[in-house]
């Protein structure tokens, strides 16, 4: 279930706020410039649906977001527990980093945890099926999909060739609970 955990960035011992109320998650994140909302498919999709079918099922929402945000492309990423590169892909984004463009993800199935280092807090957002999150460019964050990832997500890009992680060199991500401790 979608969950927001808000920690003081000096103490990962316990979250000061934990909520699964979708409206409250969206409200709290909006105060920090983070977009969080839910989308519904235009028609049913299944586990066997192709990337093209998934993009078509959410076509209206994708088109609206592309127009609003200037995004040029959308694709689908599918991570499974038997993915041959799952360990390397998980480790790639476990350290705090930024991107020079927005990081936009819509979860078609499964879940993942975005950790947003905002002001003096760390906002851990467990995004699940039907959740859209848009992390603005240059926002310090990290992502954890767990050691047995199982999700499908739509990604939107302004320029997919330029979507590169710029690591901050800070060790803050090592201090906070990983996916296995928070995602239940």
| Run means of pLDDT, 10 residues per run, the chain, 184 residues | 95 94 98 97 94 98 96 95 95 94 96 96 98 97 97 92 86 96 88
Asked: is 3-179 a CATH 3.90.199.10 domain? The reply is no
121 close to 31: Cβ distance less than 8 angstroms: no
pTM of the predicted model as reported, rounded to 2 decimal places: 0.95
- pLDDT tens-digit readout, 116-146: 999 989 999 999 999 999 999 999 999 999 9
Domain boundaries, the chain: 3-179
- The three-state secondary structure class of 21 is coil
Report the 10 Å Cβ neighbour count for 6: 19
Question: From start to end of the chain, where are the E strands?
Answer: 3-8, 17-19, 35-38, 73-79, 97-98, 103-109, 112-118, 121-127, 131-135, 141-144, 151-157, 166-167
- Amino acid 162: pLDDT: 63
């Amino acid at each position: 279930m979608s969950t927001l955990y808000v920690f003081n960035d000096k103490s990962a011992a316990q979250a000061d706020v934990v909520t699964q109320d979708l409206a409250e998650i969206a409200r709290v994140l909006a105060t920090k410039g983070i977009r969080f909302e839910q989308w519904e498919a235009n028609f049913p999709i299944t586990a066997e649906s192709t990337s093209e079918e998934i993009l078509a099922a959410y076509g209206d929402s994708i088109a609206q977001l592309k127009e609003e945000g200037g995004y040029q492309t959308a694709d689908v990423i599918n991570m499974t527990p038997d993915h041959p590169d799952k360990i390397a892909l998980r480790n790639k984004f476990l350290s705090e980093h930024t991107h020079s463009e927005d990081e936009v993800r819509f979860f078609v199935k499964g879940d993942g945890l975005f950790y947003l280092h905002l002001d003096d807090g760390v906002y851990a957002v467990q995004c699940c099926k039907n959740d859209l999150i848009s992390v603005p460019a240059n926002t310090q964050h990290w992502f954890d999909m767990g050691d047995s990832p199982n999700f499908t997500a739509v990604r939107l890009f302004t320029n997919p060739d330029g979507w590169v992680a710029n690591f901050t060199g800070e060790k803050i991500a090592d201090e906070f609970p990983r996916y296995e401790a928070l995602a239940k």
